């Protein structure tokens, strides 16, 4: 499945994997985020921190009618304010999507799957 954007020059198709990779990179660049959690292991109650090449596994891109929804599964650092981290992630992902591909998602949902202690 892909997202279709219509511009004055023609039509652009962007795969969900590409959008997920952009979202994953923006998410882990946000303050307080330790890593992405795999959306597949959430059912089992196990959360693992994904390596850089797998960030898109912690992102779900959904297109419902003409709306685009993004679900992010993250692990935050211990001692950070979770609501503030989630808010910052939403803004960073939205900004990056608008700047890189000109896409404005209708919703960015954050699911905090765990808290990890990080060593300095």
- pLDDT score recorded for residue 37: 83
- pLDDT tens digit string along 88-110? 999 999 999 999 988 899 999 99
The pTM of the full predicted model, rounded to 2 decimals, is 0.82
Name 34's Cβ contacts closer than 8 Å, sequence gap at least 6: 49, 75, 76, 77, 116, 118
CB 82 within 8 A of CB 116: no
pLDDT in tens, 39-69: 665 554 545 555 555 667 789 999 888 889 9
List the domains of the chain with CATH numbers. 2-116 (3.30.70.1350)
Percent of the chain at pLDDT above 70? 82
Q: What is the pLDDT of residue 2?
A: 80
Mean pLDDT in residue range 11-26: 91
Encoded tokens for 52 = 């850089």
């Amino acid at each position: 499945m892909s997202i279709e954007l219509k511009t004055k020059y023609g039509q652009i198709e962007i795969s969900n994997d590409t959008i997920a990779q952009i979202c994953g990179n923006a998410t882990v660049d946000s303050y307080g985020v330790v890593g992405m959690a795999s959306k597949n292991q959430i059912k089992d109650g196990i959360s693992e921190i994904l390596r850089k090449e797998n960030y898109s596994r912690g992102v779900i891109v959904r297109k419902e009618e003409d709306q685009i929804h993004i679900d992010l599964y993250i692990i935050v650092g211990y001692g950070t304010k979770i609501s503030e981290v989630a808010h910052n992630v939403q803004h960073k992902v939205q900004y990056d999507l608008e700047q890189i591909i000109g896409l404005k998602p209708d919703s960015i949902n954050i699911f905090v799957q765990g808290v990890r202690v990080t060593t300095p």
